[in-house]
Structure 1
Amino acid sequence: MLSRYRRYLVLMASLLLATPLVVGIVKPDSPTSIFREGRSLAPAPKTPATVREWLTLSAKIDSYLQDHFGLRQFLIRTNRDLTKPLLGAGNDSVLVGRNGRMFYLGQEAVRQSAGLVLRDLGVSDTVDLLAAMKDALMARGIHFLVAVPPNAATIYQDDLPRWAQNLGRKTEYDVLLEKLAKRDVQAVDLRPAITAARSDRSLYYMHDTHWSASGALAAFNAIVEADAHRDWRLDPKSALGPPIVRKGGDLARMFGVEDKAAEDIRELELPSGQKDLLSSEVFGDYVATSKRAGPTVMILGDSFTDIFFAPMLLQHAAKVVWLDDRVCGFDWKAIDRFHPDEVWWMPNERLLICRPGVRPLDFAG
C-alpha cells in the first residue's frame, strides 16, 4: 500500500518540477522580464564543433534553461513570501544593505566587488581577445578603448555588510586593467571618477542593478577626457533635469517589493537624435544619428549604456552604433558594415569575463 502511494508522490513531484520547464516552452516569460532582472538573455546552445565547445556545452544549456523556464515572476514572489521572514536582509538574489540600498547577488557581483572571487583564467582569456580586437581595429584605422561600468557594490562599499566589503583584496577589475596595460590596450578606470562624484548626487539606483543618468554622466566625462575629447565633457547642471520620483527597479522586482520602492532621480535632458533599430529584441542593437558632422562611435555594451550614452555622444558625434556585446559574442561584421572611428568596449563589471568558448561571430583575430 505504502509503495503505491510513493509512486503517486514521485509522479506528483516530477510533474511539479517539470511545470516551469513546460510553461517555459508553451508560454515563456517575455524577454523584457529577463532584461529587467539586469541580465542578458542566454542564447540557445549550438551543436559543438570542437572539444572545447563540448566541454562548455553543459554550462551553456544550464544558462539557457535558467532564462527560459516559465512562472519566473510567480516563483520570485513566492520565494520572497516564504523566505523574507527568515532572511530579513534579502534573498538569494538581492542583498539589502544600509539605508535600504539593494545589491544584486547574481553572477557573483557582490563577491566579485569584494575580491572574494578571482577568475584569473577567464580574465586572461578576455584580455587576449581584447588585445586581438585592438590589433584588428588598429589595422582598419579604428581607435579602441575599454571602459567597464563598475558594480554598485564596488562604488557603495560602505552600504554593504562587513563580509561583503573589499578589505584591500585585488578584484577582477584590477586584474583586467593590469593585464590590458601590459598589452597596450587603452582602458579607463571608471571607479575613481564615479566615487568622486558620489557626494553630489545618487549615481546608482537604490533598488536597481544599474547606474542612474548621473552615474552614466560621471563615467562619460571620465572616458572622453581620457580619450582626448575633453571638449565633449557635459555639465551635470545643464545635462540633467530636475528631480523626479522613480518607482520600482529590477532588484525591487526580484525581491518582490516593486510596488513599495521609490526614490528621487534626475534624468538626462539631451536630444536623442534619430534612432533606427537593427534588431527587434528588447534593448536590441540600434544606430542613432545627429544632424551634425562628426565621428562615428560604436559601443559594445549592455543595459548600462544602451539608453544613456547615445544622447551624450550625439552632442558631438554624427552617429552612435550601439551593439549588445552578448558576453563577447557580438557580430564582428558590424565593424566593416558601419566603419566606426572609435569602438568602446563597455560591459558591466559583473560581465567583464567573456562567456567560455564565446568569441565575436566571424572574428578571425
Structure 2
Amino acid sequence: MPLLMAFRRYWAIVFFAVLTLPTIGLLTPDLPAPMRTVIAPEARWWTKATERLDPYINNVFGFRGAVLSAHNTYEKWIGGSGSARVISGEGGALFLGENQALEQSIGQLVRPQKVEMAVDLGARLDAEMRRLGGRFVFIIPPNGHTANFDLLPAYARHHKRTPTEYDLVAEGLKTRGVPFVDLRPLIEAGKAGGPVYYILDTHWNQRGALIAFNAAMAAVGRPDLEIAAKDAIGAPRPRLQGDLLRMKGETRSDTPDVLYPPKAPYAGATDGLKPLAGMVKENSARDTGESATGRDPFVSHGFETGHDGPRIMVIGDSFTQHFWDGYLAARASAFLWMHHRLCRFDWEAIQRFKPDILVYAPTERFLPCAGQPGAK
C-alpha cells in the first residue's frame, strides 16, 4: 500500500504550501503595515528564545501587513476598545496612532505631490494678500510626535529619516518666497520655560499656542501685536484629562499633564463682541479631516471687537480654533477663524472679510492637501 494514497497527495501539497506561506511572505510584496517596534533580537537571544526572540519574530513574519490589516478590520467590526489608536511613549507620554502622524513626523511617510499642492496654495494665498494690500504668513503647528520627539518610544526614534514633509514644505515655501515660520525650533526653545505641548492630548498647551501666535505676528511685520506670556498665562496646574487618554479608554494617568490657564482678557471669551455673519460657506464635516461623528465641530466664527487694530483672518484647525480667540480678540478690530478643510476651504471668504493679516495654519498631520480651495 503506498505511503500516501493519490487523493491524499494533493492534500499534502496544500498543507506544505500553507506551512511555507510565512517564508514566501518574507520575499513577496505586502500591504502597508505599522512600523516594526522591535528592530533586532535581543543579545544572546538563544539563551531565552521565547522571551528574547519572539518579540522580534512577531515584527518580521511574512504577510505582516495583510495580517495586521485584517486584525484591525475585525477589531473595528466587533467594536474594539480603540487602544491601538494611541501610542505609549516615554515618561507617561501618549501619542496619536492615527492619520499616519507618527510616520509623517519621523519621515517614514512623504507624499511629494500633496506637499507640492500645499506649497502652491501658500503661494496663491500670498499673492492674493499682496493684491489686497495685506500680509500673509504660513505656519505649521507640529504634531505632538514632532514637538515631543524625545518622548517617543525608542523604536520610533530609531526610524527617524529626513527630509520629512515639514522639511519639504519649509524648503518649498522658501524657494517660492512665501512668508513662512518654522515653529519647530521655537517650540523646542520654549521648553526651557516649561511644557509647551500636552502629553495626554494631541494639542499644544497655552504656552505653545502663544509662542506660535507671537511668531506669526512678528512674521507679518507686526511685533506690536505680540503678547507677553506674563500677561496672558497663569501659573501652571495639573491637568488630569486629555483626548489621547480618552481614546485609550482610561480616565486617569499616573503622570498628570500641565495646564497654563489663560488670564483675562486673553481667556477667549467672546461675550459682548459683535458676531460676523455670512462670511464663510460651510462645508460638510467630512471635509475637516478630524470629525468622525458626522457633526462638524469646526464651524467658522468671526467677531468685531469694537477697538482699533488690524483685521485678522486665520485658516486653521483645532490648534488655533479656540487657543487663539483671546489673543485675536485683544489685538484685532475684527477677526475670522475658519477650518482649512484640507485646503478645500471657502476661498471667497477672503474677499468677503478683506483681512489685513492672513494666517494659514494647518497642523502638520493635516498639511497635505486633499483638493483645491472651494472644492467639495
Q: Do Structure 1 and Structure 2 share a fold, with TM-score over 0.5? A: yes
Please name the residue that 2:144 is paired with: 152
For residues 134 and 325 of structure 2, the distance between their equivalents in structure 1, rounded to whole angstroms, comes to 19
Displacement of 1:199 after TM fit? 2.0
Match runs of 1:189-228 below 5 Å: 189-228=182-221
Displacement of 1:155 after TM fit? 1.4
Q: Does structure 1 residue 105 correspond to structure 2 residue 100?
A: no
For residues 149 and 176 of structure 1, the distance between their equivalents in structure 2, rounded to whole angstroms, comes to 13
Displacement of 1:132 after TM fit? 2.2
Displacement of 1:260 after TM fit? 4.7
For residues 318 and 357 of structure 2, the distance between their equivalents in structure 1, rounded to whole angstroms, comes to 20
Q: Does structure 1 residue 242 correspond to structure 2 residue 235?
A: yes
User: Contact (CA 8 Å) 2:126, 2:136: kept in 1 or not?
Assistant: yes
What's the TM-score, normalizing by structure 1? Answer: 0.71
Deviates more, 1:189-198 or 1:305-314: 305-314
User: Contact (CA 8 Å) 2:345, 2:375: kept in 1 or not?
Assistant: no
Q: Does structure 1 residue 284 correspond to structure 2 residue 276?
A: no
Match runs of 1:1-365 below 5 Å: 75=79, 78-79=80-81, 91-165=83-157, 167=160, 169-260=162-253, 262-271=256-265, 272=268, 273=270, 274=273, 276=275, 281-355=296-370, 358-361=371-374
Deviation readout 1:16-62 (Å, 9 max, x if unpaired): xxxxxxxxxxxxxxxxxxxxxxxxxxxxxxxxxxxxxxxxxxxxxxx
Displacement of 1:115 after TM fit? 1.0
Deviation readout 1:289-339 (Å, 9 max, x if unpaired): 323111111000000001121211333211110011111111112112111
For residues 168 and 329 of structure 1, the distance between their equivalents in structure 2, rounded to whole angstroms, comes to 30
- Structure with higher Rg: it is 2
The aligned amino acid for 1:336 is Q
**Equivalent pairs: percent with the same residue?**
35
Displacement of 1:104 after TM fit? 0.8
Displacement of 1:275 after TM fit? 6.5
User: Contact (CA 8 Å) 1:275, 1:286: kept in 2 or not?
Assistant: no
For residues 189 and 289 of structure 1, the distance between their equivalents in structure 2, rounded to whole angstroms, comes to 30
For residues 290 and 108 of structure 1, the distance between their equivalents in structure 2, rounded to whole angstroms, comes to 39
User: Contact (CA 8 Å) 1:277, 1:284: kept in 2 or not?
Assistant: no
| CA distance 1:133–1:263, shift in 2 (3 Å) | closer
User: Contact (CA 8 Å) 2:274, 2:305: kept in 1 or not?
Assistant: no
| CA distance 1:345–1:202, shift in 2 (3 Å) | same
User: Contact (CA 8 Å) 1:301, 1:323: kept in 2 or not?
Assistant: yes
The RMSD of aligned alpha carbons is 2.6
The aligned amino acid for 1:224 is M
For residues 236 and 92 of structure 1, the distance between their equivalents in structure 2, rounded to whole angstroms, comes to 37
For residues 129 and 141 of structure 1, the distance between their equivalents in structure 2, rounded to whole angstroms, comes to 18
For residues 357 and 310 of structure 2, the distance between their equivalents in structure 1, rounded to whole angstroms, comes to 8
For residues 190 and 150 of structure 1, the distance between their equivalents in structure 2, rounded to whole angstroms, comes to 7
Displacement of 1:288 after TM fit? 3.0
The aligned amino acid for 1:263 is D
For residues 151 and 310 of structure 1, the distance between their equivalents in structure 2, rounded to whole angstroms, comes to 21
| CA distance 1:259–1:100, shift in 2 (3 Å) | closer
For residues 224 and 110 of structure 2, the distance between their equivalents in structure 1, rounded to whole angstroms, comes to 37
SS of residue in 1 equivalent to 2:104: helix
- The runs of at least 4 aligned residues of structure 1 exceeding 6 Å deviation read none
For residues 160 and 326 of structure 1, the distance between their equivalents in structure 2, rounded to whole angstroms, comes to 28
Deviation readout 1:129-174 (Å, 9 max, x if unpaired): 2212322332222322101101111111111123322746211011
For residues 93 and 203 of structure 2, the distance between their equivalents in structure 1, rounded to whole angstroms, comes to 12
For residues 342 and 224 of structure 1, the distance between their equivalents in structure 2, rounded to whole angstroms, comes to 9
For residues 288 and 308 of structure 1, the distance between their equivalents in structure 2, rounded to whole angstroms, comes to 16
SS of residue in 2 equivalent to 1:298: strand
Displacement of 1:232 after TM fit? 2.0
Deviates more, 1:99-108 or 1:161-170: 161-170
Deviation readout 1:152-204 (Å, 9 max, x if unpaired): 11111111123322746211011001111111111111111111011212111
User: Contact (CA 8 Å) 1:332, 1:362: kept in 2 or not?
Assistant: no
Displacement of 1:236 after TM fit? 1.5
What's the TM-score, normalizing by structure 2? Answer: 0.69
| CA distance 1:335–1:349, shift in 2 (3 Å) | same
